[in-house]
Structure 1
Amino acid sequence: MSTPYAPQHPAPPAPYGQPPGPAPAAPGKQPHLGHAIASEWTKIRSVRSTLWTLIVMFVVVVGVSSLAGFGLSTSDHAEAPVLSPGLFGLMLGQLAVITLGVLVVTSEYSTGMIRSTMTVCPQRSRVLTAKVIVFFGLSFTMTLLACGLTALIQAAMLEGKPLSEYTDPSQFNEETQATGHAVASGAEWLDATVGAALYVALLGLLSLAVGTLLRSTPGAITTMLGLVLLPFVISLFLLTEATEDIGDALREYSTLNGLATLYHVPFRFSFEDTSPGGWTLLGLLAAITAAALIGAYARIATRDV
């Protein structure tokens, strides 16, 4: 007994430009900021220069600060606040963070990789936001670890030393003045660890913004070095009566004095001089960095790669 024949109808032709076959699967989730952050984290940790720059920063901060602390520990009396030697290492270590902040952006422009990045993620502001989040988190964490270890080393070497009768007690905290022996207060610990790490991370973020604006590694690094070093250096030559006020302003608001103030050893020409507080200068740096980032977002959104 024969089976009835059922006619087979051919499938409709595929639309022009698409290969024949089954219909494509439904698209997945739309890309979001988390994907961009994961991409930037993969890029920044897979580049050898990032790893070596952070290692150099860590070694310089801990090593130079420990040498400075050891020099002070040879004295029978306390010569400076307990945690202040950490400043010397961080003044050098910050240069590595500044360089890395510039390279996070400019290295992609110099190699042409930025075109691939923008093709995968056409929303340019999302790319820059991911770079900002990843770099700031990494630089703050590494600097905080270096500053924390440095502070522990300084405390072990310098706490408990008596004050000298020739030392100005006003540069020490109230507990040290009351007991006559050097000790680091809670505020000094906070300033020399969290405050200093925030300051350096913000400088690195400012470098990232400058790199986005200039798109040139030499130009951005030179600009940042000038911003960090020139105000303080120029202030050293403005000591005449006519230029003294300008010199004081340049010195007090320089980035080097911002770090020194967080270590409670501000750069001043006399003990009667007063400088803005460390957290005040930190807030000023944050405002300048925010303004530079606004310019960077406008730049990256309006200019072709």
Structure 2
Amino acid sequence: MSTPQPPTPQAAPEWQAAPGSPYPTYTSPIPVVRAHLGHALASEWTKIKSVRSTLWTLGVFVLLVVGIGLLAGLVVANSSSDLAGESALSLGFFGLLLGSMCVITLGVLTTASEYGTGMVRTTMTACPSRSRVLAAKAIVFFLMAFVVTLVSATLVAMLHVAMLEDNGAVDPTGAEWLKATVGVSLYIALLGLLSLAVGSVIRHSAGAITIMIGVLLAPLVIALFMFSESLKEVQEALFEYSIPNQLSIFYANSLSESGPSGWDPLWIVLGVTAVVLAGAFALLQKRDV
């Protein structure tokens, strides 16, 4: 008894060559789609949400912002402190100051870590347009940092208003709510974006993080030890333009009586970030990966 033979596969169709094709006997049946920024955004979102550093840094960020904010509110609410004339939102400053270091770290890792692992070669092979890759990283990171900060800051603000209503704190105005939630979230997200640009320029995670932590803390620490009268103006400038002071302005409790006010800190960090990011784009085009 003969064994049944499998059916003979049909011959592949003869695909007609496209005009001017170097392969005159074959044209791929798979539709070719021109790559665009949307593809790069999808790729960067997949990468940033799948690495453990994102989960850990953002988790610690939320823990610091909400945990320290809640602790500060409980301490003031259970004490005899009188907040007459002050906004309940001002206590959110402490958690965000510490939490900003997490956003800085994640911003650096978003770009610099790929140079450490060599993954950047794969990324640039998949998307030869280097500017598109950096733009996608910047957009995805900025939106993620902004949303996480906004949710955390808004939650802390709502808790403080509810907890401190018996301590004489005044109800925040609409402008104060806007600055203490949307304004400070934009500032933190831009600070992280600045870190991302520095990571792209330095291409070394530890070095870029060290630089950004220095930018965050060094001006204020240096100013604290300037006792000479001849350095008074320098000391005041370091106080006024230090990141902790600019961050406190969003809560109307500036460390300095002069210097930036209102929305000035947001425009300052926006300008600095734009300059450094433009430099990162320019260097990315000139240097080898």
TM-score (norm 1): 0.84
From 99, 117, 124, the counterpart of 2:123: 117
From 47, 58, 81, the counterpart of 1:54: 58
2:192 alignment partner AA: G
1:216 alignment partner AA: H
1:125 alignment partner AA: S
Counterparts of 2:237 and 2:45 in 1: how far apart (Å)? 39
2:187 aligned with 1:199: yes
Tell me, which stretches of 5 or more residues in structure 1 are unaligned? 1-10, 163-180
2:231 aligned with 1:227: no
Q: Which residue of 2 aligns with 1:68?
A: 72
Q: In the alignment, is the contact (CA less than 8 A) between 1:132 and 1:205 conserved in 2?
A: yes
Higher Rg: 1
Q: CA deviation at 1:187?
A: 1.5
Summarize deviations over 1:115-144 as a string: whole Å, max 9, x none: 010001101000000000000000000000
Counterparts of 1:206 and 1:232 in 2: how far apart (Å)? 19
Q: Which residue of 2 aligns with 1:255?
A: 243
TM-score (norm 2): 0.88
Q: Which residue of 1 aligns with 2:164?
A: 158
Counterparts of 1:73 and 1:184 in 2: how far apart (Å)? 17
Q: CA deviation at 1:182?
A: 2.1
Tell me, which stretches of 5 or more residues in structure 2 are unaligned? 1-13
Q: CA deviation at 1:75?
A: 3.1
Q: In the alignment, is the contact (CA less than 8 A) between 1:207 and 1:224 conserved in 2?
A: yes
Mark the CA change 1:23 to 1:240 in structure 2 (over 3 Å): closer, same or farther.
closer
2:273 alignment partner AA: T
In the TM superposition, what are the counterparts of 1:30-109 in structure 2 within 5 Å?
30-76=34-80, 77-78=82-83, 80-109=86-115
1:60 alignment partner AA: L
- Once the two structures are aligned, what percentage of the paired residues are identical? 51
Counterparts of 1:304 and 1:109 in 2: how far apart (Å)? 11
Counterparts of 2:26 and 2:235 in 1: how far apart (Å)? 75
Summarize deviations over 1:134-164 as a string: whole Å, max 9, x none: 00000000000000000011101112433xx
2:279 aligned with 1:291: no
SS at match of 2:128: coil
Task: Please list every run of at least 4 consecutive aligned residues from structure 1 whose deviation after the TM superposition is greater than 6 angstroms.
Answer: none
Q: CA deviation at 1:21?
A: 6.9
Counterparts of 2:74 and 2:227 in 1: how far apart (Å)? 33
